[in-house]
Chains A and B, each alone.
Chain A
């Protein structure tokens, strides 16, 4: 008998902090609209340029440049819904995107995996992706599944579909597509999702997948990106825009400057989508970071990232849009001090800022390497934050003065009735080391990597994901096969 996967844990919106004063927020908004109006964005597809011109944008066709008047952006923000449900194949795993909860997403998309058995870094495979999904299925902290790493052993043109296949067969949770970025592949994705959901209307009613498109910073949407977003929106699949500028390289040198550019890129995507499919469910996404000035690498985890996370989530709240904020994704190469520090602060920043989706569980080395150990460690951080934000655990009972009186000065609470009744509210870490020095030594002085690896093995050895209905997997494979033979991804509606 398959053990039932635990329900998804979300962080309630009980604590909140703002990185931007209202004046600063207004200035960011104003400069963003200036950028969208004066500079605009590059849009790769000619037909898309024409469609946006039709919808009210100012388009220079020869330069493929699309400029958005202020009113067009403001109208789009009015059209986009604040709340909706990201459904899941297993309805228990549905997520209410309502501004009241923060969910943790397995982030992507790494090209390599740190093998938890051999300790070696190597190219990631479809099997690895499936294993990561099975682990995520077992962890109550994980709510949303991106493609954490590429199925690099799958054919390139159908890689996203193979990834989706590995995801549907290994987890019942909501899947968010990040790798299907052309309209053809997006149609293949929608076709598979319809089979799993039980038809076009079923998928529209219960979107068990969502997607997002990325800008190419600075200020570009490649040919296919907005077209793919339209495919998803037409099918009733929520589609957001997640931008990933790197300050000093693909974004301005200041964090606030990168914030303005990020904001412009996200709003350009949302404005385009709302013009083409009014009222489409969408979200505001940012994984902005800075370039390390010596190595040229994306830093992923410094104070600028924390500011960009908090400010981006605040802007999304201001616009009345759900947010997906790059969180965790340490720059470190192993689950060490740097990883714990960066991800602990990053998790706190996102929850305080009110992010709806916190994206990043399991990534190392600035999102280039995936680690199952890091996934369970990030889940532990999220779990700690869950206790911090859980108002019931932190609330004060009326009678506490009486309890304190009954113990009195110099007494102890160890075996007090109040202790016995309330002690189980205390957070019990799974991966923190609280052993005595001697026990720690006799256990071989395990570090976070070893403790986490042990938990990964234990979860993978017992957890079975909820199976697909009979015949569904065959149908998925048939769609992939047809796609690979060149007759898939047709416009069927």
Chain B
């Protein structure tokens, strides 16, 4: 592994965004394969953070911040990556906070944690209408979608999304997991979701289980 790749990993792990972006650019300028930057540099750093998380050494703010840096480095690498026809595709996850709900902190944490296990996470944001989620599923063909709701009044939106997936004939192609403070396993079962997690670390376990079943 090159020194530059190593310093990219280090910059992500120490939450040094400035260095991470500079090193990513240097790697691209030096003609490094974009896959190598993405996999050996950026993804490997997040996987290492995931290992540290499992040992109790890393905390939520670090994971979220590292995932943010990962996102901005990706934007640099993406043009080079898209230019290649034979690029390797990882499993995708689409996440969103459902319509009517502006609480996206939990969803952001889940998104960050999912990246630490190598999933390609597409975050649609908060207050996301059902139609937009359906469009994203059609376009991105994710293995799994995660729907977050913090309010008892927005929880029913999770059910609406599942119904809409059925109506669009997409339900069999994608696993659905739900979360949020008022959400329970019982609710998940009732609305026909495939998975439920009470917190972000558990969401990672559930997502891995579901994507492996789907594979």
A438 touches B65 (CB 8 A): no
Q: Mark A415-456, 1 if CB is under 8 A from B, else 0.
A: 111011001100000000000111100000000000000000
A414 lies within 8 A of B198 (CB):
no
Chain A nearest CB: distance from B207 CB in Å?
Answer: 16
What count of chain A residues pass the 8 Å CB interface test?
A: 14
Chain A, Cβ-Cβ closest to B63:
A415
Identify which of A414, A417, A437 gathers the most chain B CB atoms within 10 Å of its CB: A414
Compute how far the CA of A412 lies from the CA of B198 in the bound complex, rounded to whole angstroms: 21
A436 touches B61 (CB 8 A): no
| Pick from A412, A414, A436: contact of B199, CB under 8 Å | A436
Query: Which secondary structure characterizes the binding site on chain B?
Result: helix
- Asked if B61 contacts A414 (CB within 8 A), the reply is yes
Partner of A419, one of B61, B108, B185, B199: B61
Find out whether the CB atom of A414 lies under 8 angstroms from the CB atom of B108: yes
Using a Cβ–Cβ cut-off of 8 Å, how many residues does chain B contribute to the interface with A? Answer: 15
Q: Residues 183-203 of chain B: 1 if any A CB is under 8 Å from the residue's CB, otherwise 0?
A: 001000000000000110010
Query: CA separation between A413 and B105, bound complex, in Å?
Result: 10
> Which residue of B15, B109, B202 is within 8 Å of A414 (Cβ)?
B109
- Given the known inter-chain contacts A414-B109, A415-B68, please indicate yes or no for A423 contacting B61, CB distance below 8 A: yes
Q: List residues of chain B with CB within 8 A of the CB of A438.
A: 185, 198, 202
From B59, B61, B65, B108, name the one whose CB has the most chain A CB atoms within 10 angstroms: B61
CB of B213, distance to nearest CB on chain A (Å): 20
- CB A446 to nearest CB in B, in angstroms, measures 17
- Whole-angstrom CA separation of A90 from B105 in the bound complex: 49
B19 to chain A, nearest CB (A): 14
Q: What is the CA–CA distance of A424 and B15 in the complex, to the nearest angstrom?
A: 15
Q: Give the contacts of B157-190 with A (CB-CB under 8 A).
A: 185
Residue of A with least CB distance to B104: A412
Tell me, in angstroms, the Cα distance from A325 to B60 when the chains sit together.
40
Nearest A residue (CB) for B60: A414
- Give bound CA distance, A415 to B49, whole Å: 15
Question: Which residue of A413, A420, A424, A437 is within 8 Å of B198 (Cβ)?
Answer: A437
Contact partner, A420, options B65, B105, B185, B202, Cβ 8 Å: B65
User: Digit string of B89-112 for contact with A (CB within 8 Å is 1, else 0)?
Assistant: 000000000000000010011000
- A195–B137 Cα gap in the complex (Å)? 79
Question: Which residues of B have CB within 8 Å of A414?
Answer: 60-61, 64-65, 105, 108-109
Instruction: Find chain B residues with CB under 8 A from A412 CB.
Output: 105, 108
CB distance from A421 to the nearest CB of B (A): 9
Contact between A439 and B15, CB atoms less than 8 A apart = no
CB within 8 A of A415: which of B64, B199, B202?
Answer: B64
Given A415-B64, A415-B65, A415-B68, CB of A423 within 8 Å of CB of B59: yes
**Distance between Cα atoms of A142 and B124 in the complex (Å):** 52
Q: Given that A414-B105, A420-B15 are known contacts, is A439 also in contact with B202, CB under 8 Å in the complex?
A: yes
User: B62 near A: Cβ within 8 Å?
Assistant: yes
Q: Provide the bound-state CA to CA distance between A438 and B65, in Å.
A: 27
For the complex, what is the distance from the CA of A439 to the CA of B200, rounded to whole Å? Answer: 12
CB of A439 within 8 A of CB of B198, answer yes
**Chain B, Cβ-Cβ closest to A437:** B198
Q: State the CA gap A420–B61 with chains docked (Å).
A: 6
Q: Mark B55-78, 1 if CB is under 8 A from A, else 0.
A: 000011110110010000000000
A436 partner residues in chain B, CB cutoff 8 A:
198-199, 202
Shortest distance from the beta carbon of B180 to any chain A beta carbon, whole Å: 13
A390-414 interface (Cβ within 8 A of B): 412-414
Q: State which residues 210-232 of A face B: CB under 8 Å.
A: none
Residues of B within 8 A of A417 (CB): 15
CA distance A273 to B214 in the complex (A): 81
14 interchain pairs, CB-CB under 8 A: A414-B61, A414-B65, A414-B105, A414-B109, A415-B15, A415-B61, A415-B68, A420-B61, A420-B65, A423-B59, A436-B198, A436-B199, A438-B202, A439-B199
Apart from A415-B65, A423-B59, A424-B59, what are 8 other A-B pairs with CB-CB below 8 Å? A412-B105, A414-B105, A415-B61, A417-B15, A420-B15, A420-B61, A436-B198, A438-B185
Minimum-distance CB pairs A-B, first 7:
A415-B65, A436-B198, A415-B64, A419-B61, A414-B64, A436-B199, A438-B198
